[in-house]
Amino acid sequence: MEESCQVMDGSFVDRVDAGRHLATALEDYRGSDAVVLGMARGGVAVGSAVASELGLPLRALIVRKVGAPGNPELAVGAVSETGVRWIDHELARATGADEAYLEREVERQVGEAQRRQREYADGPGIESVRGHPAIIVDDGIATGASALVAIRSVHGLGASRVVLATPAAAPQSVRLLQPQVDRLIALRTPDPFMSVGLYYRDFAQVSDAEVICYLREATA
């Protein structure tokens, strides 16, 4: 696996600025048959700049967290629209999430991910990565759970090569994910790693409407 590319100083203006920096690190994919997969929602904003700069198609890849019982913001796992899942069983047990609960929650989140993909859809879907290099882009990686599910999903879709690119990532997540991909690029890997938003001057939430706009612009 290739080493990650690290630039340790400074912060990004916003997700588009971060995407342009990532595009510089991905210059060797310019005009290739690679497909950029932005992890919705924030990763689509970053990925749109990567795709625009490099002349590549952009698709949305949706990964949803699996929340704990009574505390949906506490993620005990993650699942993608393709049905690939990862569960932290130790944490799940500690929160009282039994297998029946996990199955229901996984099914619910897969359904929601697929609903959002239908809402976002404008042109070819993520299945178009089959036989092509796939560049997975997110706006930041903290625990790495969502990125791991995304990677496994893209492998399952038959991509010929899997690249993970992000403006900022926790060092421990880089170590976890690097063996899973052909190339990993993280422009900021500070230790200790704080919240992703600290590495942006503007980290406003990306709406569904904005995701649709980015995808339509890329298709046009």
- CATH number of the domain encompassing residue 86: 3.30.1310.20
Mean pLDDT (the chain, rounded): 92
C-alpha–C-alpha distance, residues 187 and 200, integer Å:
12
How many alpha carbons fall within 13 Å on the CB side of residue 121?
Answer: 13
Coil, helix or strand at residue 64: strand
93 shares its domain with 34: no
pLDDT digits (tens, 9 = 90+) for 85-116: 999 999 999 999 999 999 999 999 999 999 99
Question: Does residue 12 contact residue 199 with C-beta atoms inside 8 Å?
Answer: yes
| Residue 2 pLDDT greater than 80, yes or no | no
My answer on whether 76 and 157 are in the same domain is no
Q: What is the pLDDT of residues 54-90, one digit of tens each?
A: 999 999 999 999 999 999 888 899 999 999 999 999 9
**What's the confidence (pLDDT) of residue 4?**
46
* pLDDT at residue 96 in the model: 95
The model's pLDDT over 117-149, given as tens digits with 9 standing for 90+, comes to: 999 976 678 888 999 999 999 999 998 999 999
Yes or no: say if 78 and 46 are a contact pair by the CB < 8 Å rule: no
Q: pLDDT value at position 3?
A: 47
Cα-Cα-Cα-Cα torsion 210, 215, 216, 220, nearest 10 degrees, comes to 140
Indicate if 177 and 156 belong to the same structural domain: yes
Confidence of residue 10 (pLDDT cuts 50, 70, 90): low
Residue with tokens 């959002």: 116
- CA distance between the termini of the chain: 34
pLDDT score of 199? 94
- 7 within a domain of the structure (yes/no): no
d(CA 106, CA 64): 9
Q: Judge whether 6 lies within some domain.
A: no
Assess whether 114 and 132 both reside in one domain. Answer: no
Q: What average pLDDT does the segment 24-44 reach?
A: 96
pTM: predicted TM-score of the whole model, two decimal places: 0.91
On whether both 142 and 196 belong to a single domain, the answer is yes
- 3-class SS at 66? strand
Residue 140 lies in a domain: yes
Average pLDDT for 148-168: 97
Give the pLDDT confidence score for residue 130 in this predicted structure. 96
178 and 113 inside one domain: no
> Which residue range is the domain that position 77 belongs to?
65-118
Shared domain check, 130 and 202: yes
Q: Average pLDDT in the 39-61 region?
A: 96
